[in-house]
Amino acid sequence: MQKTLLLFLTFTISLFAIANESKICQKCHPIIYNEYYDSSHRKAYIYNNSIHKAFWDKHPKDEKGYTCAKCHSPSDLKSLKHGIVQENYTQLNEPISCVFCHTIKDVNEGEMSNTNISSGEKKEFFTAELSKKGQKKAAFETQSSWFGLVKTSKSSPYHKIDYSNENYYNGNVCMGCHSHTNNEHGFDTAMLDAMIDKNYKNTCVTCHMPQVLGTKVTINETKTHAYHGIAGIYHMNKEMGKYIDFEVNKNKTGFSVKVINKSNHALFGQALREGKLRAKILRGKQEIDLEPFVFTRILAKDGKEAMPWAANGTIKDTLVYAKKEINYKHKLLKEDTLILTLGVQLLSKKGALALDLQDNKEVTRFRTLKVQKFNF
């Protein structure tokens, strides 16, 4: 009886999978699915992301059509192959689906951008789990004990799991889309200097998909799972501050703040994005607000400010690469307290204006990454 039920379940699930791949994962991975549903990966397409929509609306169009699909909606094959923009199920609910990420076999390096190589498997997924790394392709097993009264199951009844793909351990699985996005002038317009270095203690995955409370699957309860909402600008931004250090030093004319970036990419590199460091001195009852420092990269064509697709250079670059030192011409006195607040805006005010999004307060909201006090 149980066997027939399982067969029946597998069969209905398979039918379901053709229509919507990720929804089926929800049955056994509900926490991960809900997080994913609120993530920027689920919202990477035009209809779920007003900034992306505004960019695409302004972007010059040619016969290639929607070339953004390669990274923003690879799960919609029609869009990927023919550059079609369509408001369909895949685009709205899983433009970068669970199956897409979990079947990235390898990443090919390319000049304009890298390319994800899929295993093409629909029911065999890669993942990382150090304790099982040596083991290949786990398949479902059940074990009965107590004369069949207690059943424990191992692995998944729906799919096989391959724990042997190195790309899932070192973060390279992210690099098909996150390495570089060059425009037609060979100029990188998205996040900058992303790289995989085995000497780093943290990877893209440990920082942006940290282990959080809640089971990864309903069948075998675990205490934690990898956060699929993706920690970053949209979620858990306050927790991301721990990967950025401040170092304050007094000098002859005032003081300096070193912002030290412990990640393996430049900070705030996305076009029209802006980081901001606010500094305030508390002196007795006085509060002195210093001029905020803005981290940004202003793209230009032949020396004049331009949109990312037209740019062939920059006219300003104050991003945080490995580190950035900022000098303040204010003397710090004994018993002063200095409060530093680092944050990020999805768009600079100017960027919002350029995209006609100036009325959308969300896009220019200051999102705090880190606050730290220094007493003198």
Asked whether the beta carbons of 228 and 216 are under 8 A apart, the reply is no
Distance separating alpha carbons of residues 82 and 63, to the nearest angstrom: 10
Residue 219 contacts ligand HEC per CB under 6 A: yes
Residue 348 contacts ligand HEC per CB under 6 A: no
Q: What are phi and psi of 232, to 5 degrees?
A: 170, -135
Residue 293 contacts ligand HEC per CB under 6 A: no
CB of 207 to ligand HEC, least distance (A): 3
For residue 267, count other CB atoms closer than 10 A to its CB. Answer: 23
Contact code string over 243-272 relative to ligand HEC, x by CB under 6 A: xx-----------------xxxx-xxxx--
Name residues contacting ligand HEC, limited to 15-44 (CB under 6 A). Answer: 21-22, 24-25, 27-29, 32-33, 36, 40-41, 44
What is the maximum span of the chain, computed from C-alpha positions, in angstroms?
Answer: 82
Asked whether the beta carbons of 225 and 32 are under 8 A apart, the reply is yes
Distance separating alpha carbons of residues 300 and 314, to the nearest angstrom: 5
CB of 226 to ligand HEC, least distance (A): 4
CB of 176 to ligand HEC, least distance (A): 5
Structure tokens at 236: 């858990």
Which window, 84-92, 168-176, 278-286, 327-335, contacts ligand HEC (CB under 6 A)? 168-176
Asked whether the beta carbons of 15 and 9 are under 8 A apart, the reply is no
Burial degree of 221 (CB within 10 A; 0-12, 13-18, 19+)? exposed
Name residues contacting ligand HEC, limited to 296-325 (CB under 6 A). Answer: none
Distance separating alpha carbons of residues 232 and 363, to the nearest angstrom: 15
Of 162, 168, 298, 351, the one binding ligand HEC (CB under 6 A) is 168
The residue with its CB nearest to ligand HEC is 232
Residue 158 contacts ligand HEC per CB under 6 A: yes
- Please identify which residue in the block is written with the tokens 């282990």: 211
For residue 139, count other CB atoms closer than 10 A to its CB. Answer: 12
CB of 216 to ligand HEC, least distance (A): 4
Of 31, 70, 187, 188, the one binding ligand HEC (CB under 6 A) is 70
CB within 8 A of 172, min separation 6: which ones?
107, 166, 196
Distance separating alpha carbons of residues 241 and 343, to the nearest angstrom: 9
Of 31, 174, 257, 357, the one binding ligand HEC (CB under 6 A) is 174
Residue 73 or 336 with smaller CB distance to ligand HEC: 73
CB of 287 to ligand HEC, least distance (A): 27
Residue 71 contacts ligand HEC per CB under 6 A: yes
Residue 255 or 348 with smaller CB distance to ligand HEC: 348
Residue 67 contacts ligand HEC per CB under 6 A: yes
Which window, 224-232, 250-258, 298-306, 327-335, contacts ligand HEC (CB under 6 A)? 224-232
Distance separating alpha carbons of residues 245 and 132, to the nearest angstrom: 34
